[in-house]
Every structure is written in structure tokens, then in C-alpha cells.
Chains A and B, each alone.
Chain A
Amino acid sequence: MSHEPDPVLTNSRREAVIIGLAWLAATAYTCIYSYLYGYIRPGRPLTVADIRPVLGMPSWVFWGIMAPWAACSLFTFWFAGFYMADDDLGKDHTPELERDIREGGLHE
């Protein structure tokens, strides 16, 4: 029996690691930026003057949420459009299993 990992497994695992890192980067940037510039916290009271609208929204919303949203969308287009592999997912064995169960027999 072969001990070569299935190519679907190796490709999926590599892609999942990259996706995990992208999630981490998006989460870290958005949360840290928003906390630093958009949160009222002890020692940093904010007032209406701190809203500083960008396209009508508070500047922290624009730079902390909308800008990374745009960056993530661009990354996603590249990743899903050009990087992910088109793996063959193999034959669907559902009908065989259903038939075996119904007939109470085994198949090779």
C-alpha cells in the first residue's frame, strides 16, 4: 500500500495554513488598530471632535475596518483565483454504500 500522502491532503493542508495566517493578520491588525484609535478607555477619553469623519464614517472605522476589509478582499481574489489548486476530489461512493446497505451485502 502506498505511503505517499494524498495530493488533496497536502494541497489542502498547505492552503489551510496560509488561510490561518491571513486570518491571524486580519484579526491582529483590525483589533489592535481599532483599540488604539477607536476605543474609549481609561486615560483616553474621546469626544465628538475625535470622530474626524472619513467618507462620513469615524476615521477609526475607515482605517481599522474598511481598509483591511478591502485588503482582505484583494488577497482572497488572488488566493482563490490563482493560488488554490484544482484537486480531483475523487469518485463519490455514496450510491455503492446505499446499495450495499439496502441489499445487506458487501462490495469490493
Chain B
Amino acid sequence: MNKAPSLSTELPPVIALVLFTVVSLGLGVVANMAQRKGSFLEKYFLGGRSLGAFAVALTAAVMSGGTFVGFPSLVYSYGWVVGLWIGSYMIAPLTVLGALGKRIGHISRKTGAITLPDLFRERFGSPTLGLLTSLLVMGFLSTNLVAQFTAGARIMKFVLPSGASNWVIRDEIIATADSGYLLGLLIFAVTVIAYTTYGGFLAAIWTDVFQSIIMAIGVMLLFPLAMAACGGLANATTSGVAQTDVGFAFGPGAERAFHPIGLAFSFFVMWAITGMGQPSTLVRLMAFRDSRTLRYSIIYLTIYNAIIYIPLIFIFVAARGILPNLASPDDVMPSLVKTLANPWVAGLILAAPYGAVLSTVSGWLLIISSGLVHDLYQRFLRPTASEREVAWASYAATVAVGLVVTALAVRPPAYLQLIVVFSSSGMAAAFLVPAILGCFWRRTTAAGAIAAMATGTAVTLALYVVGSLGTAALGLDGILADTSMIGPAKGMRPYYLLGLDPCVWGLTASLAAGVVGSLVTAPPDPARVALLFDAQPPGAPAPATLELHPELRKTIEA
């Protein structure tokens, strides 16, 4: 039987989260002071390309709300096969940071690019491509942000004293909505919007590092507690099998074919390859200090992944033995913490998922606001805007984006991790191939890059639409095989063509379109390409000149 919550058990997690929030806000203030000198935009959105190895590694860790809310529920629900779901993290630090890192850093420095749309526009000399990139980045990340805000609010609701919402949220709202969730959402939104807006990129990075350290401590505290409570992993596995079926110990998973081998392969593409194409990753690849920093960050990230993700699998397999038959697997993380740890340790551990969500959100908020201010407002409307005007536009954009996402998160979507997966696939299908081709193939044209982006996005979205609506609703029953029995049981689900995730088809289609689109269009200007691909003599012109920005010249002259 559950004990009634008392002040002594409810207060410590609240204090931990308050401290966490105060430190994050404080880092926002310090970051603001640290970036007052130099170009506002480069400092606010890119930290002045000064990131060290530790910061790059910890901020490139793919921690998010899903890591501590959706992922544990998948392990709890489907068992050991979820280890294969994230198995590609074994190689991801090398692929995500190492494959494109130096070339992205190189090209962005040469062209003066500080955002992903900037990078594509400069590399391919196409304002249209830059605009398309901006719109896609904002669309995908906004979708993803809603899931992250939901996760943050859910954690906050779990930690808040049960009566707290009654004196903050009005009665009429309580009657129509979950007041604890709304209060959690309000606190979360105010915190993250405040420190991100004030501190910019450096605040996002510093809080990210701080939060990553807290996450590591949280996982390491929880790991021995869970192992001791479940009586060992073998015991927990037996419990899981008893509560579900033998699939808890094997692939493709307990009670349904959650992760057949086609999806196992797909997820090696998903995390290790598509991770390279995420806008947040590409922005970090523009922001690291030098090559040596990049090398060390790969090593640090490898260590970090091993000490976070492997224990997370063990912990939530163990949860089956400790908390059998939970009604809501999404709550397994906070439930486990409250069950195992004393309230003060629980407070610290619960701060870990909260930190994961905060750090993800702050980075994405900035990417979206940089798209609005730098790529749209400054590029097309007010290129000669003063530093002060750009600064205020940046602050306003960050707040506005945060408020819109908060409003959307009032009605939370089910099964967060799937939304994260959907956005990840979509963004990678859009941006990865243009990034790879742009870095390594001089024959790539702007038309090829646009074709790659549009085709990758269209194929991925089409497979999600078919999966969500069902083949029957679309009259495709006799043409496409039913894949409703594989993958997660609920939430937004794609159509798994030939048993593979849409990310595989999206990337394949994008690559084909990028190569064909480039070959059938006129080759790019050799002189322009040479500036980015050939060794240049001292004093050679920089690619970052207004001569290569016809859209700016037009606006300035007007």
C-alpha cells in the first residue's frame, strides 16, 4: 500500500530542483556577462567558437527528455532488446563528431557561417537553400520542443508537493485540466526561457555541462541502489519474463515485436548516422575551438556514453523486479527513484532528467530563434540592423518561441520518445546528405542540395503519414504489408517499409536525389568551389564576402 506523502519526503526533491533552477539561471547571467565583447550574433548563437573538449562532448551527448522518461519506459516494457535499440552509441561519438567535425568547422570559419542555414547558403551560394533550411529546422525543432516541454512539466509535476497546484492554478482551470501538470509546465517554461534568453549559447552550453554532470551522478547513484534492490540482473530478468513473456530476455521484445532485426539495423543508422545531421550537432561542430578539442571531445563522449547508457539499461531492467506491473511505464524513472532512494538522494537523482530536458530545450530554443533573427529578419528584412536592434530581436524571438511551445505543450502528446524519433529522422533526412556532399564532393550543386533536402523530408514524412493513418485508411492494404505489429505499441508510428525505419529510406532517397540533382544541373562555379576545397595562398580572398551574397546586396541597395 502506498504511504501518504509527507513534507519530509516531498520537500527534498523540490529543494533539489529549486537549486538546480537557481544554478541554471545564475549560469545564464554569468554567460551574458562573458559574451558582452565581440560580435553579438556570433557570441549569442555560437559562443564565439570557443567550446572546449569537455563542453563539446557533454553537450553532444544525446540526452533529452526521452533519455530519462521515454527510454526507461521502453526498457521496462520490452526488456533487454532495448539494449540493441541504443547499441549504436558504441560507435556514435566517432561518427557524430569525427566524420564531419573538422570540415564543418573549416567551412564555417571560411564562410563566416554561424547557423546551419548560413552554412548551406554559403557553401552552395543559394539564398533559397538557406531559407528552406531555416523553415525546415524551425518546423522540426518546434515539434520536438513540445515533447521536451511536456517531459519537463511531467517531471516537475511528479516532484511538486501534491497540493502545490491548488494555490497557484485557478479552480476553473483545475476543473478542465491537470493542474499539477500545468504548474509544472509553467515553472519549467519560465526557467528555461529566462536563462536561455538572457545567456544565449554560452548559457545553454554551460547549463548543459552542469546538467550532464548531474545526470551522470544521478545514474551512478541509482545504479547500485537498483542492483541491490532487485537482487541482481539475472533475478530481474526472471521477474520480467514472469510478468510478460520470454521475449523480455530476447529480441524482438516482450509481448510484441518491438525491435525486429530490420529495426535493429535501422537504429544503427538512426543514432550513429542521423546524429551527424541534427542541427544541434552541426551547430556544435561550428563552435568547437580547434581540431585537438574535437579529438578529445570524441574520447570524452565515448566514456560518457558508456557510463550513462549501459547502466540505464541495467537499472530499468532491474525496475521490473522492483516495481512489477506499473500501470504507466512512462513514470518508471521517478517511481523507481522515490522507491529506492532517501528523499535527499531522490531529489538529486530526479534533477537529472529535469536537467536533460532543460539542456535540450535551451539549445533548440536558440537554434529556432537564430533562424528567425539571423536567417530571416537580418538576412531578408533588416541586414543593416544595428547590434542593439539585433540583440533585442534575438531576446524577443527566444521568448516568443518559448511561449508558443509552452502553449502547445498544454495538451501533451503520448509516448514522448516516438516524437523525438520522428523529428530526428526528419531532420537527418533533410540535412545530413547536403552536409556530407557539401563537405566532400565539389560537384554538388545548390539544386542537388535542395533536391536532397526536399526528397529526404518528403519520403520520411510520407512513411509517418502512412504509418499513422494505417494502410487500410489509405486504400493501400493489398499493396503494402501490415507493419502494425512491429515497433512500439502506441503513439505516433511510421510505416516500416520492408521492416526498416523511415530514416533509412529518407537518407537513401535524399542521397539519390542529391547526386542525381547535382549531376543534371550545371556544375558550380569552379572559382567559388576552389575557395573551399583547394589550398589557398596567403592573402587569398575569403569566401565570406558580400560579392557572394546577392540577396544581401539587393536588400542593402534597396
Contacts and interface: CB of A to CB of B under 8 A. Distances in A.
A93 B110 contact: yes
A12 B102 contact: yes
B98 A39 contact: no
Interface stretch (B1-9, B486-494, B526-534): B526-534
Contacts of B247: 40
Contacts of A6: 106, 532-536
Contacts of A108: 541
Contacts, number: 264
Interface in A36-67: 38-40, 46-48, 50-51, 53, 55-58, 60-61, 64-66
Contact of A51 (B41, B93, B237, B252): B237
A101 B241 contact: no
Contact of B306 (A56, A69, A75): A69
Contacts of A46: 246, 249-250
Interface in B201-237: 232-234, 236-237
Contacts of B439: 12
B99 A16 contact: yes
Nearest to A47: B246
Interface of A: 1-9, 11-13, 15-16, 19-20, 22-23, 26-27, 30-31, 34-35, 38-40, 46-48, 50-51, 53, 55-58, 60-61, 64-66, 68-69, 72-73, 75-77, 79-81, 84-98, 100-108
Interface string B100-140: 10110110011111100000000000000000000000000
Nearest to A106: B546
A31 B103 CA distance: 30
Give chain B's interface secondary structure class: helix
A64 B264 CA distance: 12
Contacts of A1: 527, 530, 534, 540
Interface string B284-303: 00000011101110110011
Nearest to A45: B246
A84 to B, nearest CB: 5
Nearest to B257: A40
A40 B83 CA distance: 16
Given A7-B535, A107-B545, A76 B249 contact: no
Contacts of A91: 109-110, 542
Contacts of B114: 94
Contacts of A96: 112, 542, 544
Contacts of B542: 91, 93, 96
Given A58-B80, A85-B291, A89-B291, A69 B87 contact: yes
Contact of A23 (B273, B291, B306): B273
Contacts of A64: 84
Given A5-B534, A53-B234, A55-B233, A30 B87 contact: yes
> Closest 10 interchain pairs by CB?
A56-B233, A97-B112, A93-B544, A69-B90, A39-B251, A80-B298, A97-B544, A72-B90, A27-B268, A94-B112
Contacts of A51: 234, 237, 249-250
Nearest to A99: B39
B358 to A, nearest CB: 28
A105 B310 contact: no
A77 B302 contact: yes
B384 A65 contact: no
Nearest to A15: B98
Given A30-B90, A38-B251, A89-B291, 18 more contacts: A15-B98, A39-B261, A51-B249, A53-B237, A56-B234, A58-B249, A60-B250, A65-B90, A76-B302, A79-B98, A81-B295, A81-B299, A89-B105, A91-B109, A94-B544, A95-B42, A97-B546, A98-B41
B268 A23 contact: yes
B337 interface: no
Contact of A89 (B109, B310, B378): B109
A64 B85 CA distance: 12
A44 B314 CA distance: 26
11 contacts: A7-B535, A23-B273, A26-B88, A34-B84, A38-B84, A51-B234, A56-B236, A76-B91, A80-B94, A86-B292, A94-B544
Contacts of A56: 232-234, 236-237, 314
Nearest to A39: B251
Contacts of A77: 299, 302
B95 A4 contact: no
Nearest to A105: B546
Given A2-B535, A80-B98, A26 B237 contact: no
B238 interface: yes
Interface residues of B, number: 91
Contact of B102 (A53, A72, A87): A87
A22 to B, nearest CB: 6
B103 A8 contact: yes
Contacts of A48: 238, 241, 246, 249
Contacts of A40: 246-247, 250-252
Contact of B106 (A73, A90, A107): A90
A11 B430 CA distance: 26
Given A5-B535, A34-B264, A94-B114, A68 B298 contact: no
Contacts of B42: 94-95, 98
A1 B527 CA distance: 9
B443 interface: no
A78 B110 CA distance: 30
Nearest to A98: B39
Given A13-B440, A93-B111, A84 B295 contact: yes
> Which of A13, A91, A92 has its CB near the most chain B CB atoms (within 10 A)?
A92
A15 B106 CA distance: 15
B403 interface: no
A83 to B, nearest CB: 9
A80 B534 contact: no
A4 B268 contact: no
A8 B102 contact: yes
B268 A26 contact: yes
B38 interface: yes
A89 B556 contact: no
